[in-house]
Amino acid sequence: MEQLQQGEIKLSLMEKLTGLKKKTAVFISGTGSNLKNIIKFSKIKKSPISIDLIVSNTYQAKGLKYANQFKIKKKVFNFKDAEKNILTLLKKEKIKFICLAGFMKILSKQFIKNFDGRIINIHPSLLPKYKGLNTHSRAIKSKDKFAGCSVHYVSAKLDSGKVILQKKIKIAANDSPTSLAKKVLKQEHKLYPAAIMKIFV
Ligand code: GRF
C-alpha cells in the first residue's frame, strides 16, 4: 500500500485515467465570491473536483444565485438539528469532499467525523492568529504589519485544523477593516484553488 502524507486525498487510478472529478459540496452563508471562484476553477480540466451541490443555512445567502447560474443543485437547511438530513443528502449525491466558503455555522464533531480529512475551510487571517470573527479589525487594532488568509482542514475545534496554504499581505498604514478585507478576499480567490490542487494526489 502506498503511504499517504497526512492531509492528502488520493485520486483513484480510474479518476486519474478518466479525469473523473471528486464530487464536492460547497457550504455558504453569504456573498459567495469564493463559491463562484471555486466553481470556475472546478470547470478547468486539471481541477480534481466538480461542484455538485451548494448547501446554505440561510435563504439570504446571495451566493445561492450561483446555483441557478451554473446549474448546480442547491439546498437550504435550517441548521438546528439539520446535520443528519444534510449527511443523508450528501450520501445520496455521492459527495466526497466539502469546501466551506463563508459558512457561518459550526459543524458538530459527529458531522466532521463522517468526512474526516475531507472538509476544508478558508479563513481570512494568518492562522493561528485571529480565529473566529472580525479578523481584519483585530489585526489592525493589534498594529500587525501583515494580514492574510489560510485554507485549512476542518477539525472539531474552530479554525484550528491543519493549515494547507496561507497567503500573507502587507497591511497599509491607511487600511481600514473594509479595505483590508477587499485585499485579502482577492488573495482568497487565488489561495482556495491552489490549496485544492495541493491536497489531491
Ligand atoms: C471570506 O472572507 C472567507 O474567508 C470568510 O468569509 C468570507 C466569505 O466571502 N470565511 P464570500 O462569501 O466567499 O464572498
Q: Does any ligand 1 atom lie closer than 6 A to the CB of residue 48? A: no
pLDDT in tens, 68-88: 999 999 999 987 789 999 999
In a domain, 160, yes or no: yes
Residue 1 located in a structural domain:
no
- By residue range, what is the domain housing residue 143? 13-199
121: CA distance to ligand 1 center in Å? 10
Q: How many independent structural domains does the chain possess?
A: 1
CB distance 167 to ligand 1 below 6 Å: no
What CATH number is attached to the domain comprising 100?
3.40.50.170
pLDDT tens digit string along 113-138? 999 999 999 999 999 999 999 999 99
CA 46 to chain centre: 19
Is residue 189, in this structure, part of any structural domain at all?
Answer: yes
Which element (helix H / strand E) includes 133? none
Burial class (CB in 10 A: 0-12, 13-18, 19+), 86: buried
State whether the beta carbon of 148 lies less than 6 angstroms from ligand 1. no
Instruction: Please tell me the distance between residue 102's alpha carbon and the centre of ligand 1 in angstroms.
Output: 4
